[in-house]
Amino acid sequence: MLTQAENEALTWVEGDAPMGQLFRRYWLPMVLSEEIAEPDGAPAAIRVLGQELVAFRDTTGRVGVLDAACPHRLSSLVLGRNEEGGIRCIYHGWKFDVTGKCMEMPTEPDDRGFKDRLKANAYPTHEAAGMVWAYLGPREQQPAFPALPWISFPGNQVGVAKSGYHSNYLQAVEGAIDSAHSWYLHSGSSRDWEKRFAISRDQSPRLDAEDTAYGFRYAALRIPNVDPETTKYARITVFNLPSMSTIPPPLNPDMPTHTSIFVPMDNENTMLFDVYHSQNGTPVDALELRRRLKVEPGVDLDEDWFFNGDRKKRWNQDRTAMKNGSYTGIAGFQNQDTAAVESMGAISNRSLEHLGQSDVAIIRMRRRMADALKMYLAGETPLGLDPAVDYGQIRSAQGVIPKDAPWQQLLERGVKTVT
């Protein structure tokens, strides 16, 4: 459990909250590329870390992320005209390019140089893997963009499903790294459920974790159905700062694995960018993926990317379906996670918890977040931002291996598992 002060330190992200300032030191996804696909198209509104931003694609295809408030009289640039290389505030016509440079100031005399001295707050951007990312921290501390393995995949090998949580980011992340819950909450609905159940029916995994330069990784070790005296079934999950989790890839190599990135909108809301990336070059159909996962915009999600089911509707839980074989009565893998996470409240009161051995990863993640926060407050380079970290080698895995073998060997490329 955590004290109230410890819980607040880890969960509060708005304004000058240290955790929010720590998040700003990392590159974060802001919007899907498809949300601003059209040059000179409609801008997209963003809320992140309690701050209102606007994203747009200019006439030449460049993307910009700016403070939403026009620096003149603070009217929102989300309402702006995106035209001829910049975004124009509809209030007085002031216009800014993707770097924040003021291009036009029609209500002011040209001879005073005011236009050349004024800039809108603009942030460095990077477009990759179907998302527009931004760095919101001090410019002199801007890190290199993390070269995760799937970042450089061809576009047809990556698909992103976006959805929101009405909860703090921390409990959403905790759900993503919790291996024990999948045997229950996602019973029958995980993409490779039948294959996993055929390997092991062990519902009480033993967890073993180790720290890394980017966060930590852990193995959930289960007793396999076959040769339990000589083998073990390991599922390895990876967590890297500030809020990214990669779960074990499906046993079917034609199915994509996925990395979850949780971006705090504010203290009580979170946006998830669930990145599905190919294991073997098989194309990923993002639209079909969203339909199957029941995270289709306009169908399962509202205009703000939140699920149509909420607390009042009990997240659309169907009790009749539960009697007829559905474990949760909630359709869709992500809907199930959302219901469990949001039901804790906007910010879970962790002083009331009773954690067990299956919560080793949860405890480790909180500790690593606290470590990173201490490093930030001490003026040190936080976890995951050391240039020596090789993001290209970060991967998860699962398989059956000899009982006396270290689970880390599953992360070595080319290692064959026991069948």
Question: Is 208 within 8 Å of 219 (Cβ atoms)?
Answer: yes
Per-residue pLDDT averaged across 12-31, rounded? Answer: 98
Give the pLDDT band (50/70/90) at residue 69.
very high
Q: Torsion-angle region of residue 249: left (phi > 0), alpha (psi -120 to 50) or beta?
A: beta
Separation of CA 86 from chain center: 29
Q: By C-alpha distance, which of 151, 155, 354 is closest to 244?
A: 151
The whole-number pLDDT of residue 197 equals 79
Please say whether the beta carbons of 234 and 260 come within 8 A.
no
* pLDDT, position 330: 84
Q: Is the CA virtual torsion 383, 389, 394, 399 positive or negative?
A: negative
- Residues paired with 131 in a beta bridge: 32, 128
Give the percent of the chain with pLDDT over 90: 77
3 state SS of 87: strand
Give me the mean pLDDT over the 236-250 stretch. Answer: 95
Q: Find, among 252, 265, 236, 255, the residue nearest to 177 by Cα.
A: 236
**Spatial separation of the C-alpha atoms in residues 238 and 242, rounded to whole Å:** 12
Ranges 74-83, 313-322, 397-406: which has the least confidence: 313-322
Ranges 25-34, 57-66, 139-148, 351-360: which has the least confidence: 351-360
* Confidence at residue 189, expressed as pLDDT on a 0 to 100 scale: 65
For the whole model, what pTM was predicted?
0.94
Q: Taking 80 as the threshold, does the pLDDT of residue 268 lie above it?
A: yes
Mean pLDDT computed over 83-106: 96
Q: Is the pLDDT score of 397 beyond 90? A: yes
Q: What is the pLDDT of residue 178?
A: 86
What pLDDT score was predicted for residue 362?
94
Q: What are phi and psi of 182, to 5 degrees?
A: -65, -25
What mean pLDDT value characterizes the chain? Answer: 92
The DSSP code for 119 is: B
Of 134-148, 252-266, 321-335, the range with the lowest mean pLDDT is 321-335
β-strand pairing of 397-402 with 231-240: antiparallel
Q: Residue 188: what pLDDT?
A: 66
Q: Residues 147-159: what's their mean pLDDT?
A: 95
* Encoded amino acid at 413, one letter: R
pLDDT digits (tens, 9 = 90+) for 355-382: 988 889 999 999 999 999 999 999 999 9
Asked whether the predicted pLDDT for residue 130 surpasses 80, the reply is yes
pLDDT, average across residues 255-262: 95
Helices 4-11, 169-176: inter-axial angle, 10-degree rounding:
90
Task: Convert the pLDDT of each residue in 25-51 to its tens digit.
Answer: 999 999 999 999 999 999 999 999 999
Confidence of residue 331 (pLDDT cuts 50, 70, 90): confident
Is the link from the previous residue into 242 a cis peptide, with omega within 30 of 0? yes
Q: What is the pLDDT of residue 329?
A: 84
pLDDT attached to residue 310: 78
